[in-house]
């Protein structure tokens, strides 16, 4: 008997692909009653049905790896739980390298894999040939073996998840299209469908490549765009059997999997083909796109090099199906900042089958707990902002994104499409001075300044890149003289109102009830006592605060703060675009600024941490005495239209002091020498301030704040993990870039979160968390000995709780 169509549900999930079914399965498993899934066609009919079914475990970020590891565990047991087969087969995968750089990358991957707990090893070419006998190997330089990688049948996995969801009480309606999202006062109220309205407390948008359209029904930004993704399937080939591992040849852009005695071969070509510029056609169900052998030719040519047997094989199927891609090649998860109780899980960039099990669990937990239960920042919907929802931008960006899967992931790789995008008022000036710009949150930010126009380039490698000496000079000028940084991309908010102080006191772990004219560095914590963000609060009036945080945090911070303001008389305004930020840093910064202002800059009148409204040249700016580079310095918050004037005045006045521009690569090197932590690297929802070594920025005595109860408990317990600084100064050490395995007494103990070359300490300088096993982190513990595994090479490092560069703070505090 057909089940009656509900008019009410606790949670409505839109979309019956692998993600929607995984969310339904996990919500039902978590005990959420009244879960309803709506699918406009039939289950798996969107992108899921035609996926190749590869489940590759290793990802760039530890928690993303954990999601796939969980998917693997789940898919392996779903058949016994539900009776529905999934085609699960743990066949392992072989990755091959055609270039020396790719071999180095593999070595780095093997090191990161150890840190992430993934089985992975470098193997010889002979060993690779044994595992994949039909492959040509004479042009190969190295290979990697991941024994736990697997393959599944995606449509069957989806049916098994759906069955498991139904067993646990969820209801699934196919042929039911969601046509509207109902909302009231910023909260979702339910959905309108082709079969009638359903009132719901929670709505989850798992509509795959349609998720952007579904988001637009209710003003929610889901920045993704469809692109064509293709593979072929051959008839039977001699020597191909079901136990053959998956083969990946990233230098040739291809992946290969056994399929019914033949081969399924697809890949990620360097320039993709966006699809559905005018929207996805009505009724696109189990849809395929026309064969495009021109687009596929680069994959075919490479496959013929690797697998000569393909030459004579029958091509049974040319599969061209659309998949959605996002601006940064990471998927999109979480509660929409624009609409309460409206969640998104979409934009899987061709890894939705591998990630679907874990991502569905993580999103279900987020829905039930009201916040993510682990650090999901790389895929958090709040890493985007409204301006990413531009179709022309998305169209041009996805052309580049699909190919990133197999493009060399250089440590400081920059994407090149749709650039320049967001520009500071100083952009043209800095470009004229040979700035090489990087991109963050859409902003163009100077990474370094080259001595000539022809050197404004990055020659990517794992070793010292072309800009090494340029950054060394910027670093030295900051330590010894004075430099100017364009930090305009900082996120900035005004918090105003008579309850502004009390709202901030509840949000901040540090005491921000300071007199007007002071700044306070603080974490914003969740109830678990771990970081939701970190920022600087500048009190610029009795009921007026300027909040300053990192470039990437704008949407996230606004969301977190607004969620926790409740009915207070306080108003948050994003003023990021209203102010440029020009930082004047270095021991001679006072001398420089003094030429342009009548305001006293001495330590007594303008101490460290103070913020004052002062004149600089003809402009009136907020000047905050802060530093992220470990030197005397001021950050100037300049109304945008005055920025160029202030910059010119500083440059002119600083000429005789040898002032020069400096960029973000120098900042990384300078801040790591000073042990300064960065949001998203060292500070994440996985760590407390105590673990991060930021206990000094917590005031447990100031009254209640979010996370206080958890910190009181944590404070009395031995730390299990602790952030340490690391330095390696022997002359031949390879460079570290983050993600390296940390060893103590020869045993794996953690992972590097940030690394650079410290030009003052003269070697690797890095931060990373280590497992303490509950031991006190004292001198004996720090003795280690510690090492880093850099691409398979053991590099001895010195560990310390304190900053590696600390000139007794004399210049900073003096
Ligand atoms: C050729 C190809 C090969 C691939 N190979 C792999 C692989 O080997 N490994 C891997 O991990 N990933 C692979 N992928 C990617 C993978 O298929 C996707 O990431 C994944 O299927 C996305 O699942 P989803 O649930 O997000 O989207 P979908 O499967 O598209 O599901 C979304 C569903 O929402 C429904 N829907 C949309 N709008 C509405 C509405 N208004 N009302 C109701 N329902 C609606 C749609 O009908 C659709 O069924 C591949 C993709 C392609 C194209």
Average pLDDT over residues 331-353: 98
User: Average pLDDT, stretch 94-115?
Assistant: 92
Atom of ligand 1 nearest to the CA of 321: 53
* Closest to 105 in 3D by CA, of 206, 251, 222, 264: 251
Nearest Cα residue to atom 35 of ligand 1: 15
CA of 218 to the centre of ligand 1 (A): 22
Q: Which tokens in the block code for residue 395?
A: 């169209």
The answer to whether the beta carbons of residues 442 and 422 sit under 8 Å apart is yes
Pairing of the two strands 721-728 and 763-771 = antiparallel
Structure tokens at 328: 């940064």
Helix (H) or strand (E) holding 298: helix 293-306
Whole-angstrom distance, CA of residue 485 vs CA of residue 789: 33
Collapsing DSSP to helix, strand or coil, 82 comes out as helix
Task: Give residue 811's pLDDT.
Answer: 38
Give residue for tokens 């449509």.
155
Whether residue 585 has its Cβ less than 6 Å from ligand 1: no
Which of the listed residues 14, 18, 47, 254 should we mutate to test ligand 1's pocket, taking the one with most ligand atoms within 8 A of CB? 47
How distant, in Å, are the alpha carbons of 123, 303, 307, 777 from that of 247? 14, 11, 10, 44
**Other Cβ atoms within 10 Å of 743 Cβ, number:** 23
Among 353, 354, 358, the mutation site with the greatest number of ligand 1 atoms within 8 A of its Cβ is: 353
What's the pLDDT score for residue 599? 97
Least confident of 109-123, 169-183, 673-687: 109-123
Per-residue model confidence as pLDDT tens digits over 177-202: 999 999 999 999 999 999 999 999 99
Q: What average pLDDT does range 25-42 have in this prediction?
A: 97
Q: Report the 10 Å Cβ neighbour count for 390.
A: 15
Q: Ligand 1 centre and the CA of 167: distance in Å?
A: 23
CB of 500 sitting under 6 A from ligand 1? no
CA of 317 to the centre of ligand 1 (A): 19
Backbone angles phi, psi at 158, to 5 degrees: -65, -45
What's the mean pLDDT in 198-213? Answer: 98
Whether residue 809 is predicted with pLDDT greater than 50 in this model: the reply is no
Taking only the tens place, the pLDDT of each residue in 128-154 is 999 999 999 999 999 999 999 999 999
Rounded distance from Cα 352 to ligand 1 centre (Å)? 7
pLDDT tens per residue across span 389-399? 999 999 999 99
* Rounded distance from Cα 319 to ligand 1 centre (Å): 14
Taking the C-alpha atoms of residue 8 and residue 31, their distance in angstroms, rounded to an integer, is 18
Residues 6+ positions from 38 with CB-CB distance below 8 Å: 12, 13, 14, 15, 16, 173, 176, 177, 178, 191, 193
Cβ within 8 Å of residue 389, ≥6 positions away: 212, 215, 216, 221, 222, 223
Question: For 223-238, how does the pLDDT look when each residue is reduced to its tens digit (9 = 90+)?
Answer: 999 999 999 999 999 9
Q: Is the pLDDT of residue 807 over 80?
A: no
Helices (H), 31-180: 62-82, 100-116, 125-131, 154-167
Residue 394 beta carbon below 6 angstroms from any ligand 1 atom: no
Question: What number is the average pLDDT over the span 742-757?
Answer: 96
15 ligand 1 Cβ < 6 A: yes
115: pLDDT confidence band, cut at 50, 70 and 90? confident
CA distances 399 to 251, 273, 732, 744, Å, are 18, 6, 40, 44
Question: What tens digit of pLDDT does each residue of 768-796 get?
Answer: 999 999 999 999 999 989 999 999 999 99
- d(CA 634, CA 609) in angstroms, rounded, equals 10
Atom number in ligand 1 closest to CA 214: 41
- Residue 729's pLDDT band (cuts 50, 70, 90): confident
Ligand 1 proximity of 208 Cβ (cutoff 6 Å): yes
Q: Of 668, 688, 666, 674, which is closest to residue 802 (Cα–Cα)? A: 674
Neighbours of 29 (CB within 10 A): 16
Q: Is the CB of 280 under 6 A from ligand 1?
A: no
CA distances from 572 to 19, 79, 491, 543, 562 (A): 34, 50, 13, 12, 7
> Which atom of ligand 1 is nearest the CA belonging to 353?
11
Q: Is 54 in the pocket of ligand 1 (CB under 6 A)?
A: yes
pLDDT of residue 61: 85
Residues 397 and 328 sit within 8 Å (Cβ to Cβ): no
Ligand 1 atom closest to 346 (CA): 26
Q: What percent of the chain has pLDDT over 90?
A: 95
Binding site membership of 46 for ligand 1 (Cβ less than 6 Å): yes
8 CA to middle of ligand 1, Å? 27
Q: Is residue 634 within 8 Å of residue 589, measured between CB atoms?
A: yes
* Over residues 510-516, mean pLDDT: 98
Confidence of residue 1 (pLDDT cuts 50, 70, 90): low
207 CA distance to ligand 1 middle (Å):
8
Q: How confident is the model at residue 808 (pLDDT cuts 50, 70, 90)?
A: low
Those residues whose C-beta lies under 8 Å from the C-beta of residue 61, and which sit 6 or more positions away, are 378
Taking residues 443-452, what's their average pLDDT? 98
For residue range 249-274, list pLDDT tens digits in order: 999 999 999 999 999 999 999 999 99
For residue 563, the tally of other CB atoms under 10 A from its CB is 15
Give residue 56 CA to ligand 1 midpoint distance, Å.
Answer: 17
SS3 content of the chain, % helix, strand, coil (to 5): 30, 30, 40
pLDDT at 632 over 60: yes
Query: 436 CA to middle of ligand 1, Å?
Result: 38
What are residue 783's phi and psi, to 5 degrees? -60, -30
Q: Are 103 and 97 in contact (CB under 8 A)?
A: yes
The protein residue with its alpha carbon nearest to ligand 1, atom 49, reads 46
> Which of 350, 360, 363 most suits a substitution to test ligand 1, by most atoms within 8 Å of the C-beta?
350
- Please tell me the predicted confidence (pLDDT) of residue 723: 98
The response to whether residue 353 sits with its C-beta less than 6 Å from ligand 1 reads yes
Check pocket membership of 246 for ligand 1, CB cut-off 6 A: no
646-677 pLDDT, tens per residue? 999 999 999 999 999 999 999 999 999 999 99
Euclidean distance between CA atoms 139 and 149, whole angstroms: 25
CA distance 740 to 111: 6
Q: Burial, 384: exposed, middle or buried (Cβ in 10 Å; 0-12, 13-18, 19+)?
A: buried
Q: Which of the 8 DSSP states describes residue 404?
A: G
Q: pLDDT over 70 for what percent of the chain?
A: 99
CA angle 218, 224, 226 (to 5 degrees): 120
* For the CA of 209, the nearest atom of ligand 1: 30
Q: How far is CA 353 from the centre of its chain?
A: 20
Nearest-CA residue for atom 4 of ligand 1: 51
Contact 303, 252 (CB under 8 A): yes
Instruction: Say how far residue 31 (Cα) sits from the centre of its chain.
Output: 30
Q: For ligand 1, is residue 38 a contact (CB within 6 Å)?
A: yes
Distance 543 CA to ligand 1 centre (A): 49
3-state SS class at 266: strand
HEC states along 701-729? CCCCCCCHHHHHHHHCCCCCEEEEEEEEC
Whether 756 shows a pLDDT value over 60: the answer reads: yes
- 18 C-beta closer than 6 A to ligand 1: yes
Q: How confident is the model at residue 368 (pLDDT cuts 50, 70, 90)?
A: very high
Give the Cβ contact number of residue 577 at 10 Å.
12
> Phi then psi for 265, rounded to 5 degrees?
-125, 125
């Amino acid at each position: 008997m057909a089940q009656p169509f509900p008019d009410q549900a606790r949670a409505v999930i839109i979309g019956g692909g692998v993600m929607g079914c995984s969310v339904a399965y996990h919500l039902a498993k978590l005990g959420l009653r009244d879960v309803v899934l709506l699918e406009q066609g039939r289950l798996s009919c969107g992108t899921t049905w035609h996926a190749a079914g590869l489940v590759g475990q290793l990802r760039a970020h530890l928690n993303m790896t954990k999601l796939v590891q969980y998917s693997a565990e789940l898919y392996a047991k779903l058949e016994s739980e539900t009776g529905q087969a999934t085609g699960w087969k743990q066949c392992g995968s072989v990755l091959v390298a055609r270039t020396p750089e790719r071999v180095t990358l593999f070595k780095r991957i093997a090191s990161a894999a150890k840190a992430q707990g993934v089985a992975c090893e470098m193997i010889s070419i002979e060993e690779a040939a044994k595992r994949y006998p039909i492959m040509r190997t004479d042009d190969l330089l190295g290979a990697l073996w991941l024994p736990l990688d697997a393959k599944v049948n995606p449509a069957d996995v989806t049916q098994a998840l759906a069955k498991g969801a139904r067993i646990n009480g969820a209801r699934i309606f196919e042929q039911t299209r969601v046509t509207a999202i109902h909302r009231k006062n910023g909260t979702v109220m339910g959905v309108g469908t082709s079969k009638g309205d359903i009132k719901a407390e929670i709505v989850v948008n798992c509509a795959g490549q349609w998720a952007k359209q579904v988001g637009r029904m209710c003003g929610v930004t889901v920045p993704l765009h469809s692109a064509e993704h293709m593979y072929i399937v051959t008839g039977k080939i001699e020597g191909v059997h079901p136990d053959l591992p998956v083969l990946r040849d990233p230098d040739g852009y291809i992946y290969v999997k056994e399929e019914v005695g033949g081969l399924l071969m697809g890949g990620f070509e360097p320039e993709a083909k966006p699809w559905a510029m005018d929207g996805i056609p009505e009724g696109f169900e189990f849809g395929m796109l026309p064969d495009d052998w021109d687009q596929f030719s680069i994959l075919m040519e490479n496959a013929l090099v690797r697998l000569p047997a393909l030459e004579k094989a029958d091509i049974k199927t040319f599969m061209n199906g659309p998949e959605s891609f996002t601006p940064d090649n990471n998927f999109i998860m979480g509660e929409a900042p624009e609409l309460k109780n409206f969640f998104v899980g979409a934009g899987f960039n061709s890894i939705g089958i591998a990630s679907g099990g874990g991502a569905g669990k993580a999103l279900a937990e987020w829905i039930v707990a009201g916040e993510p239960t682990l650090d999901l920042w790389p895929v958090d919907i709040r890493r985007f902002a409204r301006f990413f929802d531009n179709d022309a931008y998305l169209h041009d960006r996805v052309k580049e994104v699909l190919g990133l899967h197999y493009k060399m992931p250089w440590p400081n790789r920059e994407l090149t499409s749709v650039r320049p995008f967001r520009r500071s008022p100083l952009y043209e000036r800095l470009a004229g001075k040979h700035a090489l710009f990087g991109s963050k949150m859409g902003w163009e930010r100077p990474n370094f300044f080259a001595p000539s126009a022809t050197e404004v380039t990055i020659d990517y490698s794992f070793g010292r890149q072309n800009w090494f000496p340029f950054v060394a000079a910027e670093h030295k000028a900051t330590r010894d003289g004075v430099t100017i940084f364009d930090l305009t991309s900082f996120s900035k908010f005004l918090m105003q109102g008579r309850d502004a102080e009390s709202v901030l006191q509840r949000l901040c772990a540090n005491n921000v009830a300071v007199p007007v004219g002071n700044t306070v560095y603080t974490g914003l914590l969740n109830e678990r006592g771990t970081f939701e963000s970190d920022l600087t609060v500048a009190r610029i009036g009795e009921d007026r605060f300027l909040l300053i945080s990192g470039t990437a945090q704008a949407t996230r911070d606004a969301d977190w703060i607004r969620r926790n303001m409740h009915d207070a008389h306080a108003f948050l305004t994003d003023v990021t675009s209203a102010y440029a930020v020009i930082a004047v840093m270095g021991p001679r910064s006072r001398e420089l600024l003094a030429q342009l202002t009548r305001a006293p800059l001495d330590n007594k009148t303008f101490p460290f941490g103070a913020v004052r409204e002062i004149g600089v040249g003809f402009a009136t700016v907020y000047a905050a005495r802060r530093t992220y580079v470990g030197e005397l310095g001021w950050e100037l918050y300049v109304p945008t239209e005055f920025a160029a004037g202030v910059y010119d005045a500083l440059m002119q006045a600083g000429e005789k002091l040898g002032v020069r521009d400096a960029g973000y690569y120098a900042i990384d090197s300078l801040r790591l020498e000073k042990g300064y932590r960065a949001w998203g690297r060292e500070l994440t929802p996985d760590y407390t301030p105590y673990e991060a070594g930021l206990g000094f920025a917590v005031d447990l005595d100031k009254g209640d704040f979010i996370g206080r109860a958890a910190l009181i408990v944590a404070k009395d317990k031995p730390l299990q993990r602790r952030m340490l600084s690391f330095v390696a100064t022997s002359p031949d050490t390879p460079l570290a870039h983050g993600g390296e395995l940390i060893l103590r007494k020869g045993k794996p103990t953690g992972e590097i979160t940030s690394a650079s070359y410290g030009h003052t300490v003269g070697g690797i300088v890095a931060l990373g968390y280590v497992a303490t096993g509950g031991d006190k982190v004292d001198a004996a513990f720090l003795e280690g000995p510690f090492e880093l595994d850099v691409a398979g090479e053991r590099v001895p490092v010195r560990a310390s709780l304190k900053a590696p560069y600390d000139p007794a703070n004399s210049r900073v505090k003096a």
